[in-house]
Structure 1
Amino acid sequence: MMTVDSLSDPICISAYGAVTPIGNSLEEIKDNLINNRSGIKLIDKFDTNLMKNNFAGVPDVGEHNIKWPLDKPLKNGEVLYTRLAIERLLANGQLHEYYQSDDIGCILGLDRPSFNVDSYINYCKAVTKKGSERNFDTKIASMVESLKLNEFENVETTSILKEVNDHIKIGSTCLCHLGLCAASAYSLIMAARDIYSGKSKAVITGGVSARVSPYNVSRLESMGVTAGPNFPPEQVCRPFDKQRSGFVLAEGAILFSVERLSAVRERGVEPLAIISGYGASMGSEHIVAPHSEEVEMLLCMNKAIKNSGVPLEDIDLINAHATSTQQNDYHESKAIKEIFGDLQPIISATKSQHGHLIAAAAAMEMLCVIISMRYDFVPKIINLDEIDFNFPSGLNFAAENVHKKIKYALKNSFGMGSLAASVIMKNPRI
């Protein structure tokens, strides 16, 4: 619930650190967004010849350092991205100069880290070589030969928290949210609540994901939820388009520092965005599909709007979850229409350019909202050639770049299991 305290001294995003498929700085990402450049390309990390889906949104550093089969010790993707993002965040924010460690928390949206496929293949080969001697001792010996201790550490979510703590000591709340597609939105909401409760004065939040691995791409392909190879890589992610066929996997890390607005302005720093309101919900009708009546989408958007106190007509922009799947885009468009009626805020869908970063998706898209607010433009939804005729009429999709000032934006994040979160962001420059 919004209080007098939260209205007079709200939470804001004060700094960022990013590793993304379309750049690592606001300027670089803005340049790619405004010029409609896609970060989705052919996967170079491993052989995709036996896969239908051979494209993803992968940061350059990931393509160069996380490869299978191994020609050098594996760099865990989540740890690598976290290290780069936290270094960039601290260079931008310098939190340690203003807070004691007991005042700093860390609440991150994460996917469970990917395991090293090669090690498990080596283990299977080692067991097979032993012939019929497949007793317990033989299997343990083969595992010791094949798996290294650091690989057990790398598949634990605590390894990501440890990486943050190695750069800045965390003495307050420290936890992970494994909420898949809505994880980083939930984490920001929990971070704001943590500060409002007085438990922390500053929280590092956001999302980290490195799911572009042989195992995960194969698993998602077998589920039939990823886009088919009907277009070139840069055209395959098609939110709200009639020919959309599934989401496009991506990875990276986007970390934010969140603090009280008064603390940020006291030291002469201009915040990136003010968090005006938020809402969360869960539909639980199906493990993958959205609720058939958009229950979780409607509930979390309405909660966020009520929590913010912002009139509907003041919301200029909706950054949609817009996965480019048949069901999400259909249900999300219905929910937006039901809430906004004849009002026509611009609807953007930046996944069309960077893909779906799963646990880091909401943080990636919040960064895009920050760019829209800072540079007074909304990027077009690329590949939106023909809007699906099943959508409600009167929705204002960004078919071209729109140059205008954005005061308030609504960011939607809807995950598997009908987990949903919405955040109202305010432009600190207006």
Structure 2
Amino acid sequence: MKRVVITGLGAITPLGNSVSEFWANIIAGKSGAGPITKFDASKFKTNFACEVKDFNPENYMDKKEVRKYDLFTQYAIAATDEAIKDARLDFTTLPLQERFEAGVIWASGNGGIGTFEEQLREFHSGDGTPRFNPFFIPKMIVDIAAGVISIRNGLHGPNYATVSACASSNTAIIAAFDTIRLGKATIMIAGGSEAALTASSIGGFNASHALSKRNDDPQAASRPFDKDRDGFVAGEGAGALVLEDYDHAVARGATIYAEIVGGGMAADAYHLTGTPPDGLGAALGMKKALADAGLTPTDIDYINAHATSTGLGDISELVAIDSVFKDTNVAVGATKSMTGHLLGAAGAIESIISVLALRDGIIPPTINTENVDEAVPTGLNLVLGKARQANLRYVLNNTFGFGGHTASTIFKRA
């Protein structure tokens, strides 16, 4: 099978609206959390989140386009524009045959949930006469971001969306990886976007007791592995990666950030929203990723854990890591402590973190973890407090989603 490399990155995040700004804040250990400004959350149990800041869609598209797209698609456009530029690609100048070999697999867990809420509010506040925006359906559906990215760039290759809750964008990256290495495309844009900081989303997660309620100190609320953690911090944004056939990238003189060498997917088959105490699905996914890459546990130097800061989820994942990587001393970190949980976009921005960790030889910190939970398996090499310099060869990135979906990817230093 063909080798697959990463040649472009793009990010819209709570810690910056470019990859360089985002990465600098990650290494510095900053938190993107603050009071919710997108709606009045004062009556909610949780009134803070990790919002994208200072985002102006007109920097990426004209006003007419802005009206056609939900915010999750606007984030997708912005992130992919940066990734394509970073890869030094201009698809519009390429011959049609080459654009036949370039595609998009884009993920979101919620799609246009903001548009859906807005349209229902308008309907119920009126006289009952159905007056819906003609763009309502295309703004809302999850696959539209993939379609818009292909339309803007004239890409005629494989084009679809993956939905596996918070594992969605890792699933998209694995699917794009498989598409290229099987020879079905030369270049794939993969990633995910989420704009689900809405009343129904925050209310729903509150009802399921998933969110932190640390309203008096939002920046310290996401505290993976800490015995005082009380839930995750919701986030939003987008991450985009340009995946490319290795030979094609070399031939055009592209900058190669890293190589993607393995992907593994599995299922907990356990509970709607909970994770099994033995971490079975997570362990299976990681083992499959290792087998796919032809690696052993001792080859992995750093794991960017899913680690959302929930009571059961953190321990379940660490039990799984301990079972697969026992006695390897692999470093384990949790960058959601800074970004919050970007839901369907989490795997994409955490893949960017994984790739840049390999490039720069640095492991980002896990912030806010002050008292490690006694239930954490002993002997795990947690990266807490500050970033750590390290000679990294392979990095594994975990993402898991409601419904028991698990997806793990492995990146190799270029």
- TM-score, length basis structure 1: 0.88
**1:125 counterpart = 2:125:** yes
Residue 75 of structure 1 and its aligned partner are, at CA, apart by 6.0
2-side partners of 1:220 and 1:63: how far apart?
28
Aligned to 1:56: 49
Structure 1 distance, partners of 2:31, 2:321, is 26
Structure 2 unpaired stretches of 5+:
59-65
Distance 1:74 1:120, change over 3 A: farther
Alignment of 1:340-419 (within 5 A): 340-399=325-384, 400-419=386-405
Q: Contact between 2:277 and 2:312, CA under 8 Å: does it hold in 1? A: no
Contact 1:18/1:25, CA 8 A, preserved across alignment: yes
Answer yes or no: is the 8 Å Cα contact 1:52–1:229 preserved in 2: no
Structure 2 distance, partners of 1:215, 1:421, is 27
Matched to 2:368, the amino acid is N
1:92 equivalenced with 2:86 (yes/no): yes
Quick one: which amino acid aligns to residue 396 of structure 2? L
Deviation at 1:56, TM superposition (A): 1.2
Aligned equivalents of 1:353, 1:54: Cα separation in 2 = 17
Letter in 2 for 1:126: G
What is the aligned partner in structure 1 of residue 130 from structure 2?
Answer: 143
3-state DSSP of counterpart to 2:271: coil
Computing the radius of gyration from Cα coordinates, the structure with the larger value is 1
Q: Deviation digits for residues 276-314 of structure 1, max 9, x if unmatched?
A: 111111122111111333221111101111111223222
Matches within 5 A, 1:3-18: 5-6=1-2, 10-18=3-11
Structure 1 residue runs of 5 or longer lacking an equivalent are: 66-71, 128-138
Contact 2:277 2:315 in 1 (8 A): no
Give the 5 Å matches for 1:231-380: 231-380=216-365
TM-fit CA distance, 1:79: 1.8
CA offset digits 1:93-148 (Å, max 9, x no partner): 21525672210111111123214334322322324xxxxxxxxxxx4xx122xx22
1:375 to 1:167, Cα distance in 2 relative to 1, 3 A = same
Is the contact between residue 114 and residue 196 of structure 2 (CA under 8 Å) also seen in structure 1?
no
Q: CA deviation at 1:351?
A: 0.3
What TM-score results when the alignment is normalised by the length of structure 2?
0.92
SS in 2 for 1:175: strand
CA deviation after TM superposition for structure 1 residue 157, in Å: 2.3
Distance 2:90 2:381 in 1: 40
Over the residues paired in the alignment, what is the CA RMSD in angstroms? 2.0
Which residue is equivalent to 1:23?
Answer: 16
Q: Which amino acid aligns with 2:79?
A: A
TM-aligned CA distance change 1:248 to 1:276, over 3 Å? same
Equivalent residues of 2:232, 2:341 under 8 A apart: yes
Structure 2 counterpart of 1:250, one-letter code? G
CA distance in 2, matches of 1:75, 1:217: 22
Q: Is this contact kept in 1: 2:83–2:240, CA < 8 A? A: yes
Shift of 1:315: 1.2
| Distance apart, 1:63 and its partner CA | 9.0
1:246-268 deviation line (CA, Å, top 9, x unaligned) = 11111111111111122112222
1:26–1:371 contact (8 Å) kept in structure 2: no
**In the alignment, what sits opposite 1:132?**
none
Tell me if structure 2 keeps the 8 A contact 1:291–1:418. Answer: no
Report the AA paired with residue 90 of structure 1. Answer: I
Matched length: 400
Name the aligned partner's letter for residue 377 of structure 1.
I
Distance in 2 separating the partners of 1:391 and 1:320: 14
Alpha-carbon distance between aligned partners in 1 of 2:68 and 2:289, rounded to the nearest angstrom: 41
What residue identity is the alignment partner of 2:276? H
Indicate how the Cα distance of structure 1 residues 413 and 76 shifts in structure 2: closer, same or farther if over 3 A, else same. Answer: same
Percent of paired sites with the same residue: 28
Cα offset for 1:378?
Answer: 1.1
